[in-house]
Chain A
Amino acid sequence: MTVHLTRRYGFAASHRLHSPRLTDEENRETYGKCDNPHGHGHNYEVELTVRGTVDPVTGRVVDLALLDDLAERRILAPFRYRNLNEEVAVFRTIVPTTENLGLEVDRRLREAWPETFGRGGPHLEKVRIRETDRNICDIEGSAGDLVAGVRCQEP
């Protein structure tokens, strides 16, 4: 029987929304106060939904210790208490909107997914990133599309 399990993580970080492909005026119009040159920050929440069958021995869909370790290594440790624009390489050229942050989280997880869980293991169904209670982005889809999705936004 297929089951979806969702695990929630959090990290605090700062960012600035400013595209090098827009003029200063266009950036202000597009991003409003999020374009503040000094940046601002959020308590981000990341929800990972994993799909799979329940292991008859463990009663689990996914080994949570492995999932936690993957999230810590690939997402939380590199993003926690960071200035995303300055300290996460991809956001030097890509605007760290909720959408792009979600795509990058998804890309990082999928990159390490096979070596973590092996063939026939659980499937990463959805990445949800919550910037505030009112600003939430869901990423669902295949790895290839998402990587292209990130890259096509580079200047």
Chain B
Amino acid sequence: MVISKKVEFSASHICRSAQLTDAENERVYGAAANPLGHGHNYVVEVAIEGQPDPVTGMILDLKRLRDILEDKVLTVYDHRLLNREVEPFCDVGTSVVPTVENIAIDIWNRVAPCINGQARLYSVKVHETNELFVEYRGLR
């Protein structure tokens, strides 16, 4: 059984790779390569897989899941410029571009270690706009 929780944050980003030239960045990322940045209302859906506990009837304590998402996602991402304020997108010398794909992978990496006991992280979906979202299910 899979249970999902949704949270939202607003953030800005710049889609440019240090490994590409300016012309290549503009070709690959289009308007999203604007060096001054732009932003989105991101919607994150975190899905947890497990069986309901015979006593509580819950896969995972939802208050705990709420706290995990607050600490590991919202505190980190909400109202931030990802390229300047959120690792690994702000690391000098590395080139992790804050695409919606890489955001989903980063959120997985932050949340997965916090889900323990019988439950495990099943998937992370990140919606960047109404028309675009990704789903990541970890290394498999």
Number of interface residues of A (CB under 8 A): 22
- Residues on B with beta carbons closer than 8 Å to the beta carbon of A10: 129-130
Majority-rule SS of B interface residues = strand
- A60 interface residue (CB < 8 Å to B): no
Q: Say yes or no: A42 contacts B39, CB within 8 Å.
A: yes
- B4 interface residue (CB < 8 Å to A): no
Q: Say yes or no: B34 contacts A39, CB within 8 Å.
A: no
- Residues on A with beta carbons closer than 8 Å to the beta carbon of B10: 40-42, 132
- Residues on B with beta carbons closer than 8 Å to the beta carbon of A73: none
Q: Say yes or no: B39 contacts A13, CB within 8 Å.
A: yes
Q: Say yes or no: A83 contacts B41, CB within 8 Å.
A: no
A-B contact count (CB 8 A): 75
Q: Say yes or no: B84 contacts A82, CB within 8 Å.
A: no
Taking beta carbons and an 8 Å cutoff, which residues of A are in contact with B?
Answer: 10, 12-15, 33-34, 36, 38-43, 80-83, 86-87, 132-133
Taking beta carbons and an 8 Å cutoff, which residues of B are in contact with A?
Answer: 8, 10-13, 31-32, 34, 36-41, 78-81, 84-85, 129-130
What are 23 residue pairs bridging A and B, where the CB atoms are less than 8 Å apart in the complex?
A: A10-B130, A12-B38, A12-B39, A13-B39, A14-B12, A14-B37, A14-B39, A38-B80, A38-B85, A39-B37, A40-B78, A40-B79, A40-B80, A41-B13, A42-B39, A42-B40, A43-B130, A80-B31, A80-B38, A81-B31, A83-B37, A87-B36, A132-B10
